Amino acid sequence: MENFNYPKLNLIKPVPSDIEIASSVEPLPIKTIAKSIGLLEEEIDFYGKYKAKVSLEVIERLKETENGNYVVVTGINPTPLGEGKSTTTIGLCQALGAHLGKKTFACIRQPSQGPTFGIKGGAAGGGYSQVIPMEEFNLHMTGDIHAITAANNLLAAAIDTRILHEGTQTDAQLWKRLCPVDSKDGSRKFAPIMLRRLKKLGIDKTDPNQLTEEEISKFVRLDIDPTRITWNRVLDTNDRFLRGISVGQGKEEQRFERKTNFDISVASEIMAVLALCTSLSDMRERLGRMVVGPSRSGEPITADDLGVGGALTVLMKDAIMPTLMQTLEGTPVLVHAGPFANIAHGNSSIIADQIALKLAGKDGYVVTEAGFGADIGAEKFFDIKCRSSGLKPNCAVIVATIRALKMHGGGPKVVAGTPLDKAYTSENIELLKKGVSNLAHHIKNLKKFGVGVVVAINKFHTDSDAEVNLLVEASLTAGANDAVMSDHWAEGGNGALDLANAVEKACKETNKDNFKYLYPLDKSIKEKIETIAKEIYGADGVEYSPEADDKIKLYTTQGFDKLPICMAKTHLSLSHDPERKGVPTGFILPIRDVRASIGAGFIYPLVGSMATIPGLPTRPCFYEIDIDTNTGKIIGLS
């Protein structure tokens, strides 16, 4: 980005609200950002003045270009308030790009409307380290989540509709309707997607007239087991009353009533597919092989079996392109995908990272963020995302706050919406000494993957010098390459310069060839689960419910046992119990259920209780959100 004039921040003390800061900065036209990073005009589709979709053709055009340095931002087990991973990601990129002159990209997830209007607020960063326009970033953006919702629910409709039609028609009637006679020439033809099902059934015929009655029966009857359907409907709202519903209340559908539920849209497997696919054709194959449940005989039923894989891809054809935005200081941001970090892998897309790494080039930096604590997000980044992409990271940044580590040391309970106890707002060395074990455990875990580790101490004005010094010393003792205090929230990129220098140094010191996964894929499902439980969480062992045992046997029989594991557990503790802080010991990890995302490409065990659609608190964020009807400006977003 030579000769590019980065905007200068007008820092105000005390720091105003996020929306006030974001509204005070005029974003650069996105075409200016696109040109500065080397995108061609034909490689971008504009969505207004400040957002643009980026074509996947960039990857092919720059395929001979050496990738930039690859950095992942993760964190300790946080308080319910969050410890600032997104803010740190943005501040680090502003420091590397606008202040150190490195070609730098932030690759982050798109926020869900659930947290935005619920308890957490938006995910654009905070203070003077934000993505702008923050209201566009947090609300709809370019409609990717809506596309996922539409595709997910089309598949859900196809499932129940197929059960109804198979339950009310003979094989001959189904055949007549699925493969009708052409009124013009009297012929029958298979739709292209039907050939996929025939191949799966071992039928190599392409002429419908050649099928035997037995083959016709096998072809038309999926025989889905309605009691074992794993595909739910979704919406992008925290609606707790949809955690359990009944479908089939209409006059024609009453015979097929069943209990099911909604998930939040970002928990859809289609979101995970979007994040893990590497091309349009790869996305098509992954969407087609998504399993919605077994037949009564135990055979996995896929979206392609239902004839809908192609239609899902059509709905997702624009969503596959990352969205280009910018930070407050004009550094580029690629926003793409937003899978939850509990039941999915919680990382932005491989495609965005691939595009950014090529545009950054050999001496540039791509900083991506892994959701939740390092025991979930970072482990899944390494073992699922990197395994799928083949990309090797140079460095992991682990975000820590003195506030959270005091909590892990036995401090009073932290509750969102309730003022912090004075233990968190005044110096307390003893609490901090007890709590640093949580950070040390995460550092030790990250080192197992062969990456450099830098600790970013996200500064709060109540942190004392003695506390910061203690944390730096403890981090270095635990094996971190470096540990620095970062004040990017209050000072933007300038406040993250020490962090940027530490990351640059760690990338130079790290040999990417030393990167390794935690486990090989050829281990059994239980062996992989137990490796994560013992090596990452520190559990003594694992216990499985009868339902989990049955699912593991089923997935092994179906040939899905060689997939990586995506553990669904609380982010608030290394264990399954969110109340157990620090580094819990002497616990057995309970696996209550095991599910499969075959299109995305992982098995996900459910650890303890896990809600797949959050609920709204008594006072949700939407109380603060409104619009100035005179200016059209949104107010109250955070």
Q: In terms of Cα–Cα distance, which of 331, 325, 358, 434 is closest to 69?
A: 358
Q: Among this protein's residues, is 341 annotated catalytic?
A: yes
CA separation for the pair 575, 585 (Å, rounded):
9
Q: Among this protein's residues, is 85 annotated catalytic?
A: yes
Residue tagged active-site, from 95, 303, 319, 341? 341
For 245-256, give the DSSP string. Answer: EEE--STTTGGG
190 phi, psi to nearest 5 deg = -80, 135
Element (H, E) at 408: helix 402-408
**Strand-strand pairing, 626-627 and 634-635:** antiparallel
Burial of 62 (0-12, 13-18, 19+ CB in 10 A): middle
Determine the angle formed by the axes of helices 213-220 and 171-178, rounding to 10 degrees: 70
Residue tagged active-site, from 489, 560, 587, 602? 489
Contact 333, 323 (CB under 8 A): no
Residue tagged active-site, from 53, 109, 218, 569? 109
Instruction: Label each residue of 616-634 as H, E or C.
Output: CCCCCHHHCCEECCCCCCE
Element (H, E) at 565: none
Q: Among this protein's residues, is 87 annotated catalytic?
A: yes
Q: Among this protein's residues, is 267 annotated catalytic?
A: no
**Strand-strand pairing, 52-54 and 323-327:** antiparallel
Tokens of 256: 């097929």
Q: Among this protein's residues, is 372 annotated catalytic?
A: yes
Residue tagged active-site, from 53, 102, 103, 120? 120
Beta-carbon contacts of 38 under 8 Å, excluding residues fewer than 6 positions away, are: 359
Q: In terms of Cα–Cα distance, which of 127, 117, 118, 95 is closest to 15?
A: 127
Residue tagged active-site, from 79, 87, 323, 510? 87
CA-to-CA separations, 486 to 84, 215, 330, 458, 501, in angstroms, rounded: 11, 66, 20, 5, 11
**Strand-strand pairing, 634-635 and 233-235:** unpaired
Instruction: Label each residue of 481-517 as H, E or C.
Output: CEEEEECHHHHHHHHHHHHHHHHHHHHHHCCHHHCCC
CA-to-CA separations, 210 to 173, 180, 196, in angstroms, rounded: 18, 15, 17
Dihedral angle over CA of 461, 466, 467, 469, nearest 10? 110
Q: Among this protein's residues, is 120 annotated catalytic?
A: yes
CA-based end-to-end distance of the chain: 31
Residue tagged active-site, from 53, 85, 103, 289? 85
Q: Which amino acid is at 53?
A: K
Alpha-carbon 107 to chain mean position: 12
Angle (CA) 380-385-388 rounded to 5° is 135
CA separation for the pair 423, 431 (Å, rounded):
8
Catalytic residue positions, numbered: 85, 87, 109, 120, 341, 372, 460, 489
